[in-house]
């Protein structure tokens, strides 16, 4: 079957690579019970396990739903701290945590002004949504000092992470 659809080429992103230190930031971190400002540097240092920083489109868009379904099915919380980040508000993150049944296994940063994506060189202006910018889909696996062990950033839109590759990086 010949499917006739378009993938938009986003071109290369100037993002931090494996071996480099991921930029630190502080944003509201949303749990299933409340949100409070938390620095990424504090979050990665909480446990010995690696941290998966998962940039995804705004909550409610299907790639966000898919990503969390996949992560939850694979139970990555058993071997990593998995933190999502999107431009959605803390209220939307709370809904996502409820709907995807993430419980206290997963947490999400809220970054409505998209400053973190800017810092990471992965900001992406949305066509047809004037004034709205969000991160490209991207995944960074970090050690407890924010050294990047694995990096993937979409160069097409839409594009999806390679979950097997990420899983190999956290195990």
Residues of this chain that bind other proteins (CB under 8 A): 28, 33-37, 90-91, 94
Q: In 3D, which of 25, 53, 21 has the Cα closest to residue 153? A: 53
What is the closest distance, in whole angstroms, from the C-beta atom of residue 46 to other proteins in the complex? 8
Angle among Cα 18, 166, 158 to the nearest 5 degrees reads 90
Closer of 4 and 33 to other proteins (Cβ): 33
| Closest distance to other proteins from the beta carbon of 56 (Å) | 22
**Comparison of 75 and 91: residue with beta carbon closer to other proteins:** 91
94 or 100: whose CB is closer to other proteins? 94
Asked if residue 126 lies in contact with residue 134, where contact means CB atoms within 8 angstroms, the answer is yes
Compare residues 99 and 171 and give the one whose CB is closer to other proteins. Answer: 99
The minimum distance between CB 92 and other proteins, in angstroms, equals 12
Taken in order 8, 125, 163, 91, is the CA torsion positive or negative? negative
Q: Rounded to the nearest whole angstrom, what is the least distance from the CB of residue 104 to other proteins in the complex?
A: 10
Specify whether the CB–CB gap between 129 and 144 falls below 8 A. no
Residue 97's region, left for phi above 0, alpha for psi from -120 to 50, else beta, is alpha
């Amino acid at each position: 079957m010949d499917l006739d659809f378009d993938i938009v080429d986003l071109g290369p992103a100037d993002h931090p690579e494996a071996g480099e230190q991921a930029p630190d930031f502080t944003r509201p971190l949303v749990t299933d019970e409340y949100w409070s400002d938390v620095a990424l540097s504090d979050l990665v240092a909480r446990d010995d396990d690696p941290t998966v920083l998962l940039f995804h489109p705004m909550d409610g868009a299907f790639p966000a739903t898919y990503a969390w379904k996949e992560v939850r099915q694979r139970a990555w919380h058993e071997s990593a701290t998995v933190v999502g980040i999107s431009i959605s508000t803390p209220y939307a993150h709370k809904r996502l945590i409820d709907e995807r049944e993430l419980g206290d296994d997963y947490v999400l940063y809220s970054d409505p002004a998209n400053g973190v994506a800017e810092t990471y060189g992965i900001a992406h202006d949305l066509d047809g949504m004037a004034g709205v910018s969000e991160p490209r889909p991207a995944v960074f696996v970090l050690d407890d000092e924010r050294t990047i062990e694995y990096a993937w950033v979409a160069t097409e839109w839409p594009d999806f992470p390679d979950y097997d590759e990420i899983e190999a990086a956290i195990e």
